[in-house]
């Protein structure tokens, strides 16, 4: 049972480069999310999706883009990497139902922009 | 939007003692309050949650209390063990899904053997 899988686990980018963080889940969850976790800080929501074809901005969306073409996949795109985007990124998913709202997290991607 | 504050940021206890972590929230519409545990280098995982129609919930050595009037909730860990050492996050949400799950800044708990 894979759960939520993120790739890569680590990445170093130069300023101005672009990359895509991959996220896939095999639990048939309708909700998926991207969070970033800065040192000593909590998790901040970047983007989320309530289902295939639907995405919306979270608390800190600037500098990122997402797409949700399938239920399973929710990639996060950084177009012009900046040092402020150095962080640990977590993808998560949940099944939106009153009785079951647990968010399952991926193992994280540590991104450094130099 | 919702603002969740968490205290303390670090907490050290002797093995066997109790640990208490407190959170406050600002949006009175919030009705779901989960707690996540994140071990070093690992992903956050849900350990317990509480909904606004309940004042207290227990699961073995872990308990969570909620005071909706004061808008605060707390995590209590009794008989702490070294494996309880981790960062603990509280969160608040008012929807069934977690799209507006607002997290606190975390508490690093160290249990000293």
Q: How many helices (H) and strands (E) does chain B have?
A: 0, 11
Q: Does B32 touch chain A (CB under 8 A)?
A: yes
Q: Which of B89, B55, B60 is nearest to B72 (CA)?
A: B55
CA–CA separation, A11 and A8 (whole Å) = 7
Which of A2-6, A83-87, B37-41, B94-98 is modeled with the greatest confidence? A83-87
The pLDDT, as a whole number, for residue B53 is: 79
For residue B96, is pLDDT > 60?
A: no
Chain A neighbours among B 41-60 (CB < 8 Å)? 42-46, 49
CB contact under 8 A, A42 and B46: no
Q: Which of A34-38, B1-5, B25-29, B35-39 has the lowest mean pLDDT?
A: B1-5
Which residues does chain A have within 8 Å of residue B42's beta carbon, measured at their own beta carbons? Answer: 107
Chain B neighbours among A 10-39 (CB < 8 Å)? 30-31, 33, 35
A32 strand-pairing partners:
A49, A93
Distance between B38 CA and the closest CA of chain A, angstroms: 10
Positive/negative CA dihedral, A93, B25, B88, B40? positive
Distance between B14 CA and the closest CA of chain A, angstroms: 23
**Quick one: pLDDT band at residue A11, thresholds 50, 70, 90?**
very high
- Collect contacts of A64-69 with beta carbons under 8 A, ≥24 apart: A64/A34, A66/A34, A68/A32
Report the chain B residue with the minimal C-alpha distance to residue A10: B41
CA–CA separation, B19 and B109 (whole Å) = 8
A13-62 pLDDT, tens digit per residue, is 999 999 999 999 999 998 899 999 998 788 898 999 989 999 999 889 99
Mean pLDDT value across chain B: 91
CB contact under 8 A, B49 and A102: yes
Is B86:B40 a contact under the CB 8 Å cutoff? yes
CA distances from B90 to A51, A98, B4, B36, B106 (A): 26, 19, 8, 6, 7
Count Cβ atoms below 10 Å from residue A79 Cβ, excluding itself: 12
The pLDDT, as a whole number, for residue B19 is: 98
B79-95 pLDDT, tens digit per residue, is 999 999 999 999 998 76
Average pLDDT for A4-8? 96
CB contact under 8 A, B99 and A102: no
CA–CA separation, A59 and A95 (whole Å) = 21
Q: Does B2 touch chain A (CB under 8 A)?
A: no
Instruction: Supply angle C-alpha B54, B55, B60, rounded to 5.
Output: 90
CB contact under 8 A, B93 and A101: yes
CA distances from B76 to A70, B23, B41, B67, B93 (A): 40, 12, 23, 14, 20
The pLDDT, as a whole number, for residue B41 is: 84
Q: Which of A95, A6, A89, A20 is nearest to A50 (CA)?
A: A95
């Amino acid at each position: 049972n894979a759960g939520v899988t993120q790739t890569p686990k680590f990445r170093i980018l130069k300023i101005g480069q672009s990359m895509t963080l991959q996220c896939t889940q095999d639990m048939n969850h309708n909700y998926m999310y991207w969070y970033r976790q800065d040192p000593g800080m909590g998790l901040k929501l970047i983007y989320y999706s309530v289902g295939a074809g639907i995405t919306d901005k979270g608390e800190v969306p600037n500098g990122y883009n997402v797409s949700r073409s399938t239920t399973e996949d929710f990639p996060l795109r950084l177009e012009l990497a900046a040092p402020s985007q150095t962080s640990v990124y977590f993808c998560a998913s949940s099944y939106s139902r009153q009785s079951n709202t647990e968010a399952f997290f991926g193992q994280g991607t540590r991104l450094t922009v130099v | 939007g919702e603002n969740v504050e968490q205290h303390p940021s670090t907490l050290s206890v002797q093995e066997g003692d109790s640990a208490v972590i407190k959170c406050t929230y600002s949006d009175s519409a919030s009705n779901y309050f989960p707690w996540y545990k994140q071990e070093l280098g690992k992903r956050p995982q849900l350990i317990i949650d509480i909904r606004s129609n309940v004042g207290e919930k227990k699961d073995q050595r872990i308990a969570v209390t909620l005071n909706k009037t004061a808008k605060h909730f707390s995590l209590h860990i009794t008989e702490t063990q070294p494996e309880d050492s981790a960062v603990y996050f509280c969160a608040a949400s008012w929807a069934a899904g977690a799209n507006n799950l607002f997290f606190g800044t975390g508490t690093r708990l160290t249990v000293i053997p």
